[in-house]
Structure 1
Amino acid sequence: MLLHLALNRLIRTGTLTVRYPDGAEHRYGGGPGPSAGMHIRDWKAARRLALDPALAGGELYMEERLAPLEGDLYDLVEVFMLNLETEDTPATRLLEQGRRLVRRLAQYNPAGRARRNVAHHYDLDSRLFRLILDADQQYSCAYFPTGRETLEEAQAAKKRHIAAKLCLDRPGLEVLDIGCGWGGMALTLAREWGARVTGLTLSTEQLGVARARAAEAGLADRVRFELLDYRAWGQPVDRIVSVGMFEHVGIGHYPAFFETVRRALRPDGVALIHAIGRAAGPAFTNPWLAKYIFPGGYSPALSEVLPAAERSGLWVTDIEILRLHYAETLRHWRRRFAANRETIRALYDERFCRMFEFYLVGCELAFRRSDHMVWQMQVARDRAAVPLTRDYITAAEQAAVG
């Protein structure tokens, strides 16, 4: 049996128990590490899982042809992730080489395609995101200074941390928010820092929510939101912020992104880019995630980002790596999803719930057990645009807390 042979070779860390379609159970591994179990409900599913576990695992869970047997989905994905990371066979090398070869094509994101890719995920019913996110609807990595913060506290801390790095040293600064989501960052910068903000999104769902929030908050005169690709922006601004959007740019478009930032910044301007990255070097997007959640998306290694920033003529004035912060953020989202699962199933269906569960679990483990992290890169046109030491960041955050 193909799957039996594959698992015998694969599982070296932890223990995996498998119940096959005929009722037979086999235990694989047994070394130190987590333990989990799964039930494969038909032989075609077993074959698919053996041939391409990175894609088939999530699909079979969505189709209810694969189910956790011992423990839960988190335990099962953890065992597979830990072992797949170290697998090195001719078959897996061939699959990886193929996916590396086509990744530029998969990440080819001209304006029209970028709009369709964004709509695939971010035009989902906004009620879904209200059920799992914090009250400000921050759909990006929160910031946990102690690890004991609530989700709301950690997201507020993230916004303060980013605002501090933007050097908002006087009211009335013009800020461009590239990838503004549902408007929370833009509204915070206007309300608490006195900025005048333009938020750009490619999601019609996000645009409607963001504009309604600005009107409700009485900030429509200082915050506006536009359905516009970042490459079409042509006005000078004092500051640029981009949170959780760079993952959708595509590796072939990094030069255009940084050239846009440089062109838009005034001579003393500062920009802060907050994005998911990977610590182990260039790779490719997990095929299940690319197919079902973020088509066209990719979380780059910094070695892929810095050359484009350097060629643009911008100064990279600060880089910070946030390691387990996104794992904690996703843990909060996953728990809120579970608490509201029946409501979400009424919005969509069981298959959607399984897809979203697999997404949240897989992403949390990518940050907790694999090489994923978040990077924050501050760039400026002038080397003297920001203070000489990082003390100003802490001072600005403390002043904002009051």
Structure 2
Amino acid sequence: MWQSIVLAMLGKLIVRGKLTAILPDGTTHIFGTGTGGPDVTLRLTDATCLRRLVRDPELALGEAYMDGALILEAGDLRDMLTLFAINGGRGRMPPVIAAGFRARFLARRWMQANDPRKSRTNVAHHYDLGDDFYALFLDEDRQYSCAYFADPAMTLEAAQAAKKAHIATKLRIEPGMHVLDIGCGWGGMALTLARDFSARVTGVTLSENQHATATARVREAGLTDRIDIRLQDYRDLAGPFDRIVSVGMLEHVGAPQYPTYFSRVADLLAPDGVALIHTIGRCAPPTTTSGWLAKYIFPGGYTPSLSELLIPLERTDLWQDDIEVWRGHYAETLRRWQDRFEANVDTVRAMYDDRFIRMWRYYLVAAEVSFDAHRHVVYQLQLSKTRDVVPNTRDYLYASNAQTMRRAAE
């Protein structure tokens, strides 16, 4: 029964490209036209995978790859995930499988109910793996978010510096301003704003590992008089702040918490303040997080549609000064991370096992494909309480573009 459902699913899904599936009973099945997409041959060695693919195909596919029960005999992981993506993915599932996705969507208020206790646990799951691991594939400043490739030939380090410079320009920072960094990570943005723009920065994180590292970096840089790194939930802060920046943190908030998030940004922002929210988003209707991603990588995480952000944002007194959409930049960032991860895979193997390596390889490639073949983008929301606190055009951003690029290359 399970095999027949899986075959029906693949027959409905694969139209572009070609998939040759060798199932556990040794039978071979071919799907697709062979044109317009990758040519992939996969072998499933465990019959229990068929049942799990029917119940949750996204979770089961990732687990089969992690466990070594899915073997790619032609094409690579990127080809396979791209093949599924360009053929519509969830949108072409049989009714029995589509019903499971609908049920998970209805359960979002519980699955993403990220109260302070749960948020801390979720953050620790991913970010407390250790600095030595992340140093293997991130840039020297440990920027774990989308870089800004103003020039495709830029190094990862230069593109991450360009991202920070671009954000700082949007914030319109002046010396002495007090900046709140929500989800400050390893402290890179805080260090940049304090060192290069003479700001005072309060950074908050829920990761004990990131807090310890960011605090040490601030001390080593001699900036303890300008930067305060706190192990604290953004919901417990008191303002006001002249500027608020949040890079790659909104993805961990969860849809049920968006009203709280934006109301806190509004409450914490000074009357003449500016906020810049940088987040992954989707140019598509609301959905749910992949079961595999929620279980193994980002529990409680969610990539929002723009419509889901605008409704709670519209209920605050914040102006939407600018909404910029980045396309392509994160896919390129992820390719750079993958190259470094693979170059250091033996070091990773000394830290963890082969299953962990396959898990992270699957995550990095799947994320890249989501930006290349799905409808994922990066949104930058520039917000304020006063209509004319930022210029009415983007000219101010690009008039200083040469200076920004010089600073990024230093």
Superposition TM-score, scaled by structure 1 size: 0.96
1:231-252 CA-to-partner distances (Å, cap 9, x unmatched) read 0010211100000000111111
Give the SS at the match of 2:114: coil
**Counterpart check, 1:133 vs 2:132:** no
The answer to which of 146-155 and 238-247 deviates more is 146-155
Tell me the distance in 2 between the aligned counterparts of 1:190 and 1:131: 26
Aligned to 1:164: 169
Deviation at 1:50, TM superposition (A): 4.1
Give the SS at the match of 1:345: helix
Aligned to 2:49: 45
One-letter identity of the residue aligned with 2:350: A
Aligned to 1:118: 123
Matches within 5 A, 1:46-65: 46-65=50-69
Tell me the distance in 2 between the aligned counterparts of 1:8 and 1:305: 36
Tell me the distance in 1 between the aligned counterparts of 2:9 and 2:239: 56
**Counterpart check, 1:108 vs 2:113:** yes
Tell me the distance in 2 between the aligned counterparts of 1:228 and 1:397: 35
Aligned to 2:302: 298
Deviation at 1:5, TM superposition (A): 3.3
Matches within 5 A, 1:390-401: 390-400=394-404, 401=406
Aligned to 2:96: 91
Tell me the distance in 1 between the aligned counterparts of 2:109 and 2:266: 24
Tell me the distance in 2 between the aligned counterparts of 1:45 and 1:93: 18
Deviation at 1:339, TM superposition (A): 0.8
4+ residue stretches of structure 1 with deviation over 4 A? none
Aligned to 2:17: 14
**Counterpart check, 1:216 vs 2:220:** yes
Deviation at 1:286, TM superposition (A): 1.0
Tell me the distance in 1 between the aligned counterparts of 2:214 and 2:401: 25
One-letter identity of the residue aligned with 2:365: V
One-letter identity of the residue aligned with 2:161: A
Is the Cα–Cα contact under 8 Å of residues 38 and 75 in structure 2 kept in the other structure? no
**Counterpart check, 1:226 vs 2:227:** no
Deviation at 1:275, TM superposition (A): 0.1
Deviation at 1:152, TM superposition (A): 1.0
One-letter identity of the residue aligned with 1:68: L
Deviation at 1:95, TM superposition (A): 1.5
1:111-139 CA-to-partner distances (Å, cap 9, x unmatched) read 11110011110111111111010111000
Aligned to 2:190: 186
Instruction: Return 5+ residue gaps in structure 2 as ranges.
Output: none
1:239-277 CA-to-partner distances (Å, cap 9, x unmatched) read 000000001111111111111111111111000000011
Instruction: Return 5+ residue gaps in structure 1 as ranges.
Output: none
**RMSD in angstroms over aligned alpha carbons?**
1.4
Is the Cα–Cα contact under 8 Å of residues 160 and 397 in structure 1 kept in the other structure? no
Give the SS at the match of 1:398: helix
Tell me the distance in 2 between the aligned counterparts of 1:6 and 1:234: 52
1:28 to 22, 27, 31: 31
Tell me the distance in 1 between the aligned counterparts of 2:401 and 2:175: 16
Tell me the distance in 2 between the aligned counterparts of 1:44 and 1:263: 52
Tell me the distance in 2 between the aligned counterparts of 1:68 and 1:163: 44
Tell me the distance in 2 between the aligned counterparts of 1:139 and 1:20: 38
One-letter identity of the residue aligned with 2:143: Q
Tell me the distance in 2 between the aligned counterparts of 1:250 and 1:51: 24
Tell me the distance in 1 between the aligned counterparts of 2:224 and 2:42: 52
Deviation at 1:27, TM superposition (A): 2.1
One-letter identity of the residue aligned with 2:148: Y
Aligned to 2:292: 288
Give the SS at the match of 1:332: helix
Superposition TM-score, scaled by structure 2 size: 0.95
Is the Cα–Cα contact under 8 Å of residues 205 and 231 in structure 2 kept in the other structure? yes
Is the Cα–Cα contact under 8 Å of residues 56 and 291 in structure 2 kept in the other structure? no
**Counterpart check, 1:380 vs 2:384:** yes
Deviation at 1:60, TM superposition (A): 0.9
Percent of aligned pairs with the same amino acid: 52
The answer to which of 16-25 and 302-311 deviates more is 16-25
Deviation at 1:88, TM superposition (A): 4.2
1:363 to 367, 387, 409: 367
Give the SS at the match of 2:150: coil
One-letter identity of the residue aligned with 1:166: L
Matches within 5 A, 1:56-75: 56-75=60-79
Deviation at 1:397, TM superposition (A): 4.1
Is the Cα–Cα contact under 8 Å of residues 164 and 397 in structure 1 kept in the other structure? no
Go from structure 1 to structure 2 and tell me whether the alpha carbon gap of 1:62 and 1:219 turns closer, same or farther (over 3 Å shift).
Answer: same
Deviation at 1:48, TM superposition (A): 2.2
Deviation at 1:38, TM superposition (A): 1.1
**Counterpart check, 1:249 vs 2:285:** no
Go from structure 1 to structure 2 and tell me whether the alpha carbon gap of 1:396 and 1:222 turns closer, same or farther (over 3 Å shift).
Answer: farther
Aligned to 1:327: 331
Give the SS at the match of 1:45: helix
